[in-house]
A and B are shown apart, each in its own frame.
Chain A
Amino acid sequence: MTMSYTLQYGQIWPYLPTLAAGALLSLQIAFLAFCGGLLIGTAGAAALTFGGSMIRRVVRAYVTFLTNTPQLVQIYFLYFALPDTGILLSSYAAVLIGMTLNAGAYLTDIQRAGFESVRASEMEAAQVLGFSRMQQIRFVVLPHVARVLFPPLSNQYILMTLGTSMAAIFGVEELTGRAFNINAQTFRSIEVFSVTAGFYVVITLAATTILGLIGRFAFRARMRLV
């Protein structure tokens, strides 16, 4: 019982600007969640490295719980369970907060590894050379940490860009959300979702190239450009 189906991309072309605007919203969500996650991650990694045993335990629990449960269910919880306590989040806010908290957990783990990669002997060498505490951070710790951390952070950013697609499930009109809408209007499913896939390939390739260039020239990190 095979059905003949001819691909008709013609019906999709008028929607390209709509999808492109959706892609911008995807990038926006990824960027905001990444920046928020980076703040949480830096604080978390600092707490794990320098904090007392109590704060370390709390941060560990946060990281372990959020990295071992699906982001989708975390956002479901924020979006559907919090209204019971009187906190009503818009779908955009729920997705953004969910992604930020989730990113914070992963970025804490990544950055802790970066903090630990600074060797004690490097710090001692800086002290012997008479560097002040600020100079040690500015000239020894930061360049080292940036070089080590930039590649895994870029990688996480790409994964997060792909992860924004689950915002569609909550009705946010980012790239995948708009694909769902256009699919409902035109019924050209394969065409819509393959063009959408193409958009994701383009925006992640652009991000890889830009981040690779920054990493190579600003931090001398070993990174691929494509």
Chain B
Amino acid sequence: MLTRLVAELPEFFSYYNIVFLAKAALATFALSAVGSITGVLAGFALAVTRLTRSIWLAPLRWLTVLLTELFRRIPFLVTLMLVFFAFQLSGFDLPLFAVALIAVFLIASAYLAEIIRAGFESVHRNQWDAAAAMNFSMLETIRYVIVPQAWRIILPPAFGFFILFIKDTALASQIGVIELTYAGKVLNNKGFSAALVFGTLLVLYFLISYPLMRLGARLEASLAQPRHR
């Protein structure tokens, strides 16, 4: 078996295949990065909505809770299929990459809303009272008091979820998005042995994910400061 793998190597790492895999790796990275960044923005909006007190915004608050709870209890594959078929039936002709991106965005905003909410809650209640006593509005309190303290708590798990999404986007291959896993299936169908193709995929995913994981760990270590209460 090993001799066969070695014999395949020069043909497998041809110029065309390397470019194909590199482009696919870029798609995997873009899908998770863009999905996570837009997810952070939406998650922030959701977390802030949950902090509002106005009675008029109560339905909006319930909707936020419903969305965050729902999308954290549906597998990514099922969300992907729902978004895929919803767009197919609505008649909008979106590229598959955009469809997958919307699915990543939905699930990312739900998870990140929870992370950001937990970060907000880590700031002591007295800080809110102090800001209110100084006549800060809610948005001013968040901007000048809460976020400067909460971001240290929010950043490490948010980064962890970004790395999780790099691996989750492998599922986007199921609707035909040409990312790393889909590229692997194409090469396998072309007759390259599965051990070589999927072994290479595992190494490529590792090369994307591991440096980011190390970066996240360093970030966590440098952000962790003794908290005096």
Contact = CB atoms under 8 A, between A and B. Distances in A.
A134 interface: no
A165 B75 contact: yes
Contacts of A120: none
Interface in A46-73: 64-65, 67-73
Q: Chain B CB within 10 Å — which of A73, A162, A190, A194 has the most?
A: A73
Contacts of A64: 210
A3 B88 CA distance: 10
B82 A197 contact: yes
B82 A194 contact: yes
Interface in B62-108: 70, 73-79, 81-82, 85-86, 88-91
B73 A81 contact: no
A69 B167 contact: yes
Given A73-B181, A84-B193, A189-B89, A166 B171 contact: yes
Contacts of A68: 163, 167, 205-206, 209-210, 213
Contact of A72 (B74, B89, B90, B170): B170
A31 B132 CA distance: 48
Given A77-B199, A162-B76, A166-B171, A69 B205 contact: yes
B78 A80 contact: no
A86 to B, nearest CB: 9
Interface string B188-218: 1000011100110110011001100100000
A85 interface: yes
A204 interface: yes
Q: Chain A CB within 10 Å — which of B88, B170, B210 has the most?
A: B170
A189 B171 CA distance: 18
Nearest to B84: A189
Contact of B188 (A80, A176, A190): A80
Contact of B78 (A71, A74, A76, A196): A196
B199 to A, nearest CB: 7
B89 A5 contact: yes
A57 B89 CA distance: 52
B144 to A, nearest CB: 30
A163 interface: yes
B212 to A, nearest CB: 9
Contact of B91 (A2, A164, A193): A2
A84 B194 contact: yes
B81 A205 contact: no
A16 interface: no
B70 A201 contact: yes
Interface residues on B, range: 35 or more
Given A68-B213, A81-B195, A81-B198, A190 B78 contact: no
A58 to B, nearest CB: 17
B17 interface: no
A88 interface: no
A117 to B, nearest CB: 15
A204 B69 CA distance: 11
A83 to B, nearest CB: 8
Contacts of A74: 202
Contact of B73 (A67, A176, A193, A201): A201
A157 interface: no
A66 to B, nearest CB: 10
A176 B205 contact: no
Nearest to A200: B74
B134 interface: no
Contacts of B195: 77, 81, 84-85
26 contacts: A1-B91, A3-B91, A5-B89, A68-B205, A68-B210, A69-B202, A70-B166, A72-B167, A73-B198, A73-B205, A80-B194, A85-B195, A162-B76, A163-B75, A165-B75, A166-B75, A176-B77, A176-B78, A190-B82, A193-B81, A197-B74, A197-B78, A197-B82, A200-B75, A200-B78, A204-B73
Interface of B: 1, 70, 73-79, 81-82, 85-86, 88-91, 163, 166-168, 170-171, 173-174, 181, 184, 188, 193-195, 198-199, 201-202, 205-206, 209-210, 213
